[in-house]
């Protein structure tokens, strides 16, 4: 393995998350976050490995300013982790939407920047922010190679029957309206790790990955290729999520517009920000720690919400078992998948037909790679903590 430090950047419209990862040890050397970029109340959080977390209020007028602060923190003589910018060998950028143009990660060139810009209308909130992050880094580190790692790329192997919607075909031809899927870096990382843990060839397995975080999606990986995933043109489709509705009858949109005297845009905001487990619980919480506590106390809203969430995941597992004509291993990952044994039990209770039995003891663990099914379980079930930053760093090293 090459020995280089890779700066992984995840840029949002007013935030920037970063990690500096050494490619050989795969350890995080430093990490942090800039918040409220371009708005009042800017804040930077920086944590060097083995050092103390630092928080400072500092205005950042734009993303270039934020990147400059990050680079200053990393090279600070007292609390920095590298002597100079030359010790940062490459920068890997997380990009949300690569449309049909990108089926894998790529080195960033002017042409690549243009192609990413070409995907802006598919992710109008995210891609422009990602591009700003790239521009800021290129300005300050013009000699450093940079890569774009796309959330959508892993799912580009989906067959037509999985990615096309049942709408006039010309909408696909004219506007590229189709299913793309997201969380690709996580689904790829976790499915590869499952094969490793099982000591089997990736190409020989049928894998279902349940990425259950605030945003949540399921994917089906057959013989080394993603064949289906639950998010669609946007991340709104599929599972019931923290605040997103997931699948619903599209006619509901007009119905609610009329009933509530709201615009389509307003209802979509409800579906993105006020729905999911937050909405279903009557506004109680989008956080599964709160929901679980209330569930255990017998709270009706929490019970219906957790049941609804688990049922939807189980339905997708069933659908993807059908899509792949079987399944060898089911993986749970992300905040809820890694840390919530109760939800894993509730989902698995639907999977008797797959011969799934969970080991109560193994399932009680949290946050580390673990086989949680019993030795007799016909289909294996794993918890595999995702690590999107490490996956981006690995892709980056492979490309430079």
Give whichever of 54 and 214 is closer to ligand ADP, judged by the CB atom.
214
Distance between CA atoms of 93 and 149, rounded to whole angstroms? 6
Least gap, CB of 66 to ligand ADP (angstroms) = 20
Give whichever of 289 and 378 is closer to ligand ADP, judged by the CB atom.
289
Distance between CA atoms of 219 and 228, rounded to whole angstroms? 6
215 contacts ligand ADP (rule: CB under 6 A): yes
Least gap, CB of 295 to ligand ADP (angstroms) = 12
89 contacts ligand ADP (rule: CB under 6 A): no
**Cα–Cα–Cα angle for 144, 148, 152, rounded to 5 degrees:** 170
Residues 6+ apart with CB under 8 A from 167: 177
What are 238's two structure tokens?
């599929």
One of 214, 272, 345, 359 touching ligand ADP (CB under 6 A): 214
**Cα–Cα–Cα angle for 368, 389, 118, rounded to 5 degrees:** 140
Residue with tokens 């006020």: 274
Give whichever of 48 and 335 is closer to ligand ADP, judged by the CB atom.
335
Task: Measure Cα distances from 56 to 50, 59, 91, 155, 165 in Å.
Answer: 19, 10, 24, 39, 47
289 contacts ligand ADP (rule: CB under 6 A): yes
Q: What count of other Cβ atoms lies within 10 Å of the Cβ of residue 355?
A: 11
Assess whether 76 carries a catalytic annotation: no
Strand partners, 183: none
One of 76, 274, 287, 299 touching ligand ADP (CB under 6 A): 287
The count of C-alpha atoms lying within 13 angstroms of the C-alpha of 136, restricted to the half-sphere facing its C-beta, is 25
Give whichever of 5 and 333 is closer to ligand ADP, judged by the CB atom.
333
296 contacts ligand ADP (rule: CB under 6 A): no
For ligand ADP, which stretch binds (CB under 6 A), given 4-12, 161-169, 282-290, 372-380? Answer: 282-290
Give whichever of 98 and 215 is closer to ligand ADP, judged by the CB atom.
215
Give whichever of 76 and 290 is closer to ligand ADP, judged by the CB atom.
290
288 contacts ligand ADP (rule: CB under 6 A): yes
Give whichever of 286 and 379 is closer to ligand ADP, judged by the CB atom.
286
Least gap, CB of 27 to ligand ADP (angstroms) = 21
For ligand ADP, which stretch binds (CB under 6 A), given 91-99, 167-175, 208-216, 347-355? Answer: 208-216
Least gap, CB of 261 to ligand ADP (angstroms) = 32
Catalytic residue among 78, 110, 151, 249: 151
Least gap, CB of 246 to ligand ADP (angstroms) = 14
What are 5's two structure tokens?
């430090």
Least gap, CB of 305 to ligand ADP (angstroms) = 11
Distance between CA atoms of 93 and 16, rounded to whole angstroms? 11
The count of C-alpha atoms lying within 13 angstroms of the C-alpha of 387, restricted to the half-sphere facing its C-beta, is 17
Mark residues 93-112: x for contact with ligand ADP by CB under 6 A, - for none: --------------------
One of 92, 133, 213, 341 touching ligand ADP (CB under 6 A): 213
Alpha-carbon dihedral 140, 146, 148, 149, rounded to 10 degrees: -120
For residue 388, the SS3 value is helix
Mark residues 321-340: x for contact with ligand ADP by CB under 6 A, - for none: -------------xxx--xx
Q: Where are the beta strands (DSSP E) in the chain?
A: 5-11, 16-22, 28-35, 43-48, 54-57, 90-95, 106-107, 146-150, 206-212, 216-222, 225-229, 329-333, 370-371, 380-383
272 contacts ligand ADP (rule: CB under 6 A): no
Q: Is 9 exposed, middle or buried (0-12, 13-18, 19+ CB in 10 A)?
A: buried
Give whichever of 92 and 335 is closer to ligand ADP, judged by the CB atom.
335
35 contacts ligand ADP (rule: CB under 6 A): no
The closest of 233, 235, 234, 225 to 157, measured between CA atoms, is: 225
For ligand ADP, which residue has the nearest CB?
Answer: 335
Active centre residues (catalytic): 151
- Interface residues with ligand ADP (CB under 6 A)? 213-215, 287-289, 334-336, 339-340
């Amino acid at each position: 393995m090459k020995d280089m430090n890779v700066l992984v950047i995840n840029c949002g419209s007013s935030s920037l998350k970063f990690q500096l990862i050494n490619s050989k040890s795969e350890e995080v050397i430093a990490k942090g976050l800039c918040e409220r970029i371009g708005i009042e109340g800017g804040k930077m959080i920086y944590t060097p490995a083995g050092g103390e977390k630092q928080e400072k209020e500092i205005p950042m007028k734009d993303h270039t300013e934020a990147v400059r602060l990050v680079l200053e923190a990393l090279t600070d003589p007292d609390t920095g982790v590298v002597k100079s910018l030359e010790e940062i060998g490459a920068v890997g950028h997380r990009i949300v939407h690569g449309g049909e143009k990108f089926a894998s990660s790529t080195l960033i060139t002017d042409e690549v920047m243009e192609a990413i810009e070409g995907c802006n209308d598919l992710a109008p909130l995210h891609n422009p922010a990602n591009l700003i992050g790239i521009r800021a880094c290129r300005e300050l580190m013009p000699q450093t190679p940079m890569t774009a790692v796309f959330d959508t790329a892993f799912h580009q192997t989906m067959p037509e029957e999985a990615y096309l919607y049942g709408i006039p075909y010309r909408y696909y031809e004219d506007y590229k309206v189709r299913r793309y899927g997201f969380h690709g870096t996580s689904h790829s990382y976790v499915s590869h790790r499952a094969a490793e843990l099982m000591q089997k060839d990736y190409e020989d397995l049928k894998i279902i990955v349940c990425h259950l975080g605030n945003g949540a999606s399921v994917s089906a990986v057959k013989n080394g290729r993603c064949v289906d995933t639950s998010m669609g043109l946007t991340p709104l489709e599929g599972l019931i999520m923290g605040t997103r509705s997931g699948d619903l009858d599209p006619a509901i949109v007009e119905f609610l517009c009329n009933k509530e005297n709201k615009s389509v845009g307003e209802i979509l905001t409800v579906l993105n920000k006020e729905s999911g487990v937050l909405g279903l619980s009557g506004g109680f919480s989008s956080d599964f720690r709160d929901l679980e506590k209330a569930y255990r106390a017998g709270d009706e809203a929490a019970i219906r919400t957790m049941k609804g969430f688990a049922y939807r995941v189980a339905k997708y597992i069933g659908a993807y078992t059908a899509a792949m004509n079987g399944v060898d291993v089911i993986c749970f990952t992300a905040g809820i998948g890694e840390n919530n044994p109760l939800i894993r039990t509730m989902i698995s209770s639907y999977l008797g037909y797959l011969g799934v039995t969970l080991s109560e003891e193994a399932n009680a663990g949290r946050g580390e790679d673990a086989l949680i099914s019993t030795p007799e379980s016909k289909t294996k079930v794993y918890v595999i903590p995702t690590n999107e930053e490490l996956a981006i760093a690995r892709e980056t090293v492979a490309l430079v």
